[in-house]
Structure 1
Amino acid sequence: MNEKEFWSLIEKSKEQENQDEQNHWLMEQLTHKIETEIVDFGMIFETFMTQSYDQKLWGAAYVIMGGCSDDLFDYFRGWLIAQGEEIYKGVLNSPEILADYIPQDWHDEELMPDNEEILSVAQDAYTFKKTNSTEYDEAAADHFQEELDHRGASITREIEFEWEDDDDLSKMFPKLWKRFGEEPLEY
């Protein structure tokens, strides 16, 4: 599987009614692939997670959600990848486009810009191939991670933040701040 095929799967997955169905559809599609293609998908996904591990994007997520922990930033980046190539690349280039992309009615927990489950879609599909079950299997999970490591999956690096407080964020992201600064999306 290459990046073009990866993004094609993501694009098709967006036809599902909601995020849970999107994740399930992706996992199901991957279970029909051979193991190396599942690992390819996982590696490409990890590459995009690494590319998006950026202080500027973290600041944008912080403004949108009124705070953003390490885990929530992972879920936010998973959500961003699930939006497809155009949005993903556009947001990496200019996080301010999220002010126009996120609908006004997104003060609903089901519509929050986070997608924790997509982080394990490839591992779940790999587990299914190995065990014929979607239940977590430590040996399959370890083997999947070993495959990613063997391919050079990168370890998350430290981020130096250029922002310290709301004043910095409001200057960095005026459009996002105008939209979410006083009324962030909250759980």
Structure 2
Amino acid sequence: MDQNQFWEIINRACRSDPESAEEWDSLLVAELVKLSPEEIIEWNHIFDSLEAQANQVDLWAAAYIINGGASEDGFYYFRCWLIGMGKEIYSAAVANPDSLADVATPEWFSEGIDAEAEIYGAAHDAWMQVTGQPDTADYPARNESTETIGEEWDFEDIDLIRQHLPRLAALYEDEI
């Protein structure tokens, strides 16, 4: 399993379609059960690595703006959603969180991005199905908590928002 294969699976299951995020988990499980247990674990490690790379302060601020707030858990779900949106959107957002202004319009996300995209558990579910293990079995791929990258700043300070994320600030000005 490599990153290209990882993204191919994401593309087939999630289709970069935020309106179908509630289906991503079951679609991903359906794709992952086609793999061997070892490949599922490798897929999960890639997922965790990508999720950790997206654990950035400015990306958290973007999630905060788009969702009208973002707890630590909410930001984790946001990063999972971001992976589900596919390599192009993910890579652009990790390189420049303000690029989400092209994707996360207020009309699409009036209710926020939340745990609907529960893709964080898809590999675990698929592994249990493929191996026949019960829910209580020790799953060999557990994600490690990661440190947030970047210097913290006040996500409610409009001047800082405009400085760090000018396009999102303009797009969500009425909600900030």
Class of the TM-score when normalised by the shorter of the 2 chains:
0.7 to 0.9
Closer/same/farther in 2, CA of residues 158 and 87 from structure 1, 3 Å limit? closer
For 1:30 and 1:36, the matched residues in 2 are separated by 11
For 1:159 and 1:86, the matched residues in 2 are separated by 21
* Counterpart residue type for residue 27 of structure 1: V
For 1:81 and 1:170, the matched residues in 2 are separated by 25
Cross-structure match for 2:9: 9
Cross-structure match for 2:174: 182
Cα contact 2:105–2:171 (8 A) shared by 1: no
For 2:161 and 2:37, the matched residues in 1 are separated by 43
Cross-structure match for 1:170: 162
SS in 2 for 1:106: coil
Cα contact 2:14–2:27 (8 A) shared by 1: no
Closer/same/farther in 2, CA of residues 48 and 71 from structure 1, 3 Å limit? same
For 2:27 and 2:150, the matched residues in 1 are separated by 37
Closer/same/farther in 2, CA of residues 104 and 182 from structure 1, 3 Å limit? closer
For 2:145 and 2:69, the matched residues in 1 are separated by 24
Alignment length, in residue pairs? 171
Q: CA RMSD in A?
A: 2.2
Deviations 1:111-157 (A, max 9, x none): x434441110101111212337xxx7122xxx22xx236xxx54312
1:148 and 2:150 equivalent?
no
Percent identity between the aligned chains? 33
For 1:162 and 1:103, the matched residues in 2 are separated by 25
For 2:163 and 2:135, the matched residues in 1 are separated by 46
For 1:74 and 1:181, the matched residues in 2 are separated by 24
User: How big is the shift at 1:27?
Assistant: 0.4
Q: How does 1:1-187 map to 2 (within 5 A)?
A: 1-15=1-15, 18-109=20-111, 112-114=112-114, 115-131=116-132, 137-139=135-137, 143-144=138-139, 147-148=140-141, 154-157=144-147, 161-164=151-154, 165-166=156-157, 167-183=159-175
Stretches of structure 1 that go unaligned for 5 or more consecutive residues are none
TM-score, normalising length: structure 2: 0.85
Cα contact 1:63–1:181 (8 A) shared by 2: no
